[in-house]
Amino acid sequence: MSINKTRSSTIYLNELITNIPVRRKIVDHNDRDKFEWNQWQSATKAINNIEVSPKEKHIRNLILGTFRLEGSRLFWSMMIRINIESHPIICWKFCYVIHRLLRDGHKNVIRDSILLTSYFDQLSKYWSCIQQNYGLLSYHYCNLIISKLKFHERNLMFTGNLTINEHNDIRCLFNNNFNSYFQLCIELFNYMEEILNLAQIIFKSLDQSRLNSMTITGQCRLNPLIICIQDSSLLYDYIVKVLFKLHE
C-alpha cells in the first residue's frame, strides 16, 4: 500500500473532524487528562491489528465517553492517531466499533459521523483493491456504514438503533403520504441489502479460510453479525409494515 495514499487519507480525516462541534468540555484539567487517556486506552485496545474480537468493556467505555462529551469529537480525533488505513484488520475492527457507537452511543454520534460520510467512501475505495481476507471484509463493512449514515441523514426520525418512537409504529410516520412511504421502503431495502451483503461475505470468508465460530479468529470475523441481526430484525419489521401500508 502506498504510504502517500495513507497519509493523504489521514489528512483528509483531520480536515473533516474540524466540522464536528465541541459540545461539552471537561473543565478540570486533571480530570480531562485522565478521561482522555482512559478513552485512548480503550480505543487502542479495541482497534488494533490483532485478529481477536474487541472486548466489550473497551467498547462500553467508548460509548460512555460519547455520553459524557455529548458527541464523538474525541473519538474521531483519536482515529487520526490510530491510522485506520494502515491495516485491514484495524479497519475491520474500527468499523465494528463505530457501528456500535452509532447504535448505542449518544444521539449526536450519528450527526457527527454523517459529516464524515465522504471519509467512509474513501475507505471503501481504498480497500476495494484488495479482494481477499480482511481487505474485502472492510470494503463491505465500510459500504454498510455508508448506507447507514445516508439512511439516517435522509430519515432523521430514526435513532441510531433504528427505533422511531415509544410505540415504534412506522405506519404512523407519514400519515397517508404514500410517496414518502414508497421512498422510505426503497431506502430500507437498500440498507437491508448492505447488511445481507456483509453477512454473506463474512460466511464466505470463513469457508475459504476454514475457520469456525469456536476459534478466536473466526469470532473476530463473526462479531459484527450480532449488530447486523439487531438492525435487520427491525428493518424487516419496518419493510413488512410499509409494504402493507402501500397496499392499503
Give the other-Cβ count within 10 Å of 210's Cβ: 8
Cα 75 to Cα 80: distance, rounded to the nearest angstrom:
9
Quick one: CA torsion of 44, 84, 193, 202, rounded to 10 degrees? -70
Cα 191 to Cα 181: distance, rounded to the nearest angstrom:
15
50: helix, coil or strand?
coil
Task: Look up residue 124 and give its three cell numbers.
Answer: 471503501
What average pLDDT does this structure show over 188-206? 94
- Look at the pTM and tell me if it is higher than 0.85: yes
Long-range contacts from 52-55, C-beta under 8 angstroms, 24+ separation: 52/216, 52/217, 52/219, 52/220, 53/216, 53/219, 53/220, 53/223, 54/93, 54/96, 54/97, 54/223
Write down the domain spans for the chain. Answer: 3-246
Q: Give per-residue pLDDT as tens, 35-85.
A: 999 999 999 999 999 999 999 999 999 999 999 999 999 999 999 999 898
Q: Give per-residue pLDDT as tens, 73-115.
A: 999 999 999 989 889 999 999 999 999 999 999 999 999 999 9
> Residue 166 has what pLDDT?
67
Q: Does residue 150 carry a pLDDT above 90?
A: yes
